[in-house]
Amino acid sequence: MSAADLSYVQPTPNSPWGTYLSQVDRVVPYLGELSRWVETLKRPKRALIVDVPIEMDDGTIAHFEGYRVQHNMSRGPGKGGVRFHPDVTLEEVMALSAWMTVKTAAVNLPYGGAKGGIRVDPKKLTHKELERVTRRYTSEIGIIIGPQQDIPAPDVNTNAQIMAWMMDTYSMNVGGTATGVVTGKPLHLGGSLGRVKATGRGVFVTGREAARRLGLDLRGARIAVQGFGNVGSVAAELFAEAGAKIVAVQDHTGTIVNAGGLDLKTLLPLARTEGVAGFKGGDVIANESFWDVACDILIPAALEGQVTAERAQKTQARLVLEGANGPTVPAADDILAERGVLVVPDVICNAGGVTVSYFEWVQDFSSFFWDEDEINQRLDRIMMNALNQIWDTADRHRITLRTATFAVACERILMARQERGLYP
């Protein structure tokens, strides 16, 4: 049997799960004896589909489809965010959970990989309806999550408030306050300083190092950012603080450009409330034109599959920093490599979020909280150590940073699998 035989998903080459499978195939030659275990990575350990019925404010009953996939738990409890989006599918959640397995291993956190989601447009729900959807979903997946089993966190369209509802619902069901069941919580409920900005900060830390190695001066560097939410906007702010110019931003409302640099102080509050399209300090351009904007660094920080072969051909960037999960399809990866464009892959580039989530979980267990400087210093150290090791692997085998990250991570995962053995 091979992964193609999974009865419940038929991946295509550019679909998220298809992209992930192709990334795994590319790492096999570097796994040596461990390659006999590789099929482990090509199928999720466990996938739960739940019905999420809620009463809407107008008295009608609505049903939403929810998922929690635990891809691999060889190295520790499952870890991964929860996404609320109308396009969420089981296949997407499977891929996102698998990338979490690789990511947690790449930065050597004692976790496996998991992910969850609800097929819902949260922008169409009232605050109360959103709370009911969150609580019912949490209750439904409560049979497989827990502080030592699987620990959800925020992802697209979910935030600290949603994590607080999840923590409360799980806690009510188990009869005690279990802060360690989710991360990305509000600060006064066991959240960690630095968590909100951690993913964007990780993108900045890995991007700064990649730029240094490329000889690309961040002062005056032109950056285009797709997705201006938690990840994209924080990364943009940090690069701007380092002297770079944010010359193009795209979100779900549209695309704006300013070759002289967009003024983030006025753009950020607007992006949070209405989206970037109404911003007066730049020109609105067609969404497709975002991909050939004159820039040095491209940061895809929205959704999967955005960097297609055609867009990879057009980009003027020398460096791509994958803030989003799975933004680049395999054919585009090859084109970027051929064109000499360096890609810092998602599985290391955006690992800052899960790293500070890990700090939050550790702080919750010890009931002892660290200051922000300590968190940022530890985050920077973990990201830099991981990136340096990945870079050495890439240089040694003359492979891309993505395949090198998979090589480092998959060796850890499959070694754990082998040492644990199969049961029975």
Which residues are catalytic, by number?
115
Among 26, 43, 46, 252, binds ligand NAD (CB under 6 A): 252
Among 11, 66, 112, 154, binds ligand NAD (CB under 6 A): 154
Please, which residue, 212 or 272, has the CB nearer to ligand NAD? 272
CA 254 – CA 267 distance, rounded (Å) = 13
Cis bond upstream, residue 424 (ω within 30): yes
Name which of 204, 207, 155 is nearest 182 in CA terms: 155
Please, which residue, 77 or 326, has the CB nearer to ligand NAD? 326
What number of other Cβ atoms are within 10 A of residue 269's Cβ?
10
Give every CB contact of residue 417 below 8 A, 6+ residues apart in sequence: 37, 40, 74
Write down the residue that tokens 């738990």 correspond to.
73
* Residue sitting closest to ligand NAD (CB): 229
Please, which residue, 37 or 359, has the CB nearer to ligand NAD? 359
Among 69, 163, 231, 298, binds ligand NAD (CB under 6 A): 231
Q: CB 106 → ligand NAD: shortest distance, Å?
A: 13
Among 67, 165, 170, 228, binds ligand NAD (CB under 6 A): 228
Give every CB contact of residue 57 below 8 A, 6+ residues apart in sequence: 126, 128, 129
Please, which residue, 41 or 321, has the CB nearer to ligand NAD? 321
Check binding of 156 to ligand NAD (CB under 6 A).
yes
Q: CB 356 → ligand NAD: shortest distance, Å?
A: 9
Q: CB 301 → ligand NAD: shortest distance, Å?
A: 5
Chain centroid to Cα 353, Å, comes to 8
Strand pairing partners for 146? 150
Check binding of 16 to ligand NAD (CB under 6 A).
no
Among 129, 150, 155, 296, binds ligand NAD (CB under 6 A): 155
Residues in the chain, overall count? 424
Check binding of 257 to ligand NAD (CB under 6 A).
no
DSSP state, 259? T
DSSP state, 156? T
- Left if phi > 0, otherwise alpha if psi is -120 to 50, otherwise beta: which for 274? alpha
CA 424 – CA 410 distance, rounded (Å) = 23
Check binding of 117 to ligand NAD (CB under 6 A).
no
According to CB under 6 A, which residues from 262 to 321 bind ligand NAD? 301-303
Check binding of 101 to ligand NAD (CB under 6 A).
no
CA 139 – CA 392 distance, rounded (Å) = 44
Strand pairing partners for 225? 249, 299
Check binding of 237 to ligand NAD (CB under 6 A).
no
Please, which residue, 31 or 225, has the CB nearer to ligand NAD? 225
Check binding of 391 to ligand NAD (CB under 6 A).
no
Give every CB contact of residue 408 below 8 A, 6+ residues apart in sequence: 105, 106, 386, 389, 390, 393
Tokens, residue 348: 């290391």
Q: What single string gives the DSSP state of each residue in 70-96?
A: EEE-SSSSEEEEEEEETT--HHHHHHH
Q: For ligand NAD, what does the binding mask look like between residues 341 and 360, x meaning CB under 6 A?
A: ---------x--x-------
Check binding of 114 to ligand NAD (CB under 6 A).
no
Strand pairing partners for 98? none
Check binding of 250 to ligand NAD (CB under 6 A).
yes
Q: CB 233 → ligand NAD: shortest distance, Å?
A: 7
Among 77, 116, 122, 323, binds ligand NAD (CB under 6 A): 323
Please, which residue, 254 or 261, has the CB nearer to ligand NAD? 254
Name which of 182, 177, 186, 191 is nearest 152 in CA terms: 182
According to CB under 6 A, which residues from 188 to 207 bind ligand NAD? 199
Chain centroid to Cα 113, Å, comes to 12
Q: CB 155 → ligand NAD: shortest distance, Å?
A: 5
Query: Which residues are near ligand NAD by CB under 6 A?
Result: 154-157, 199, 226-232, 250-252, 301-303, 323-325, 350, 353
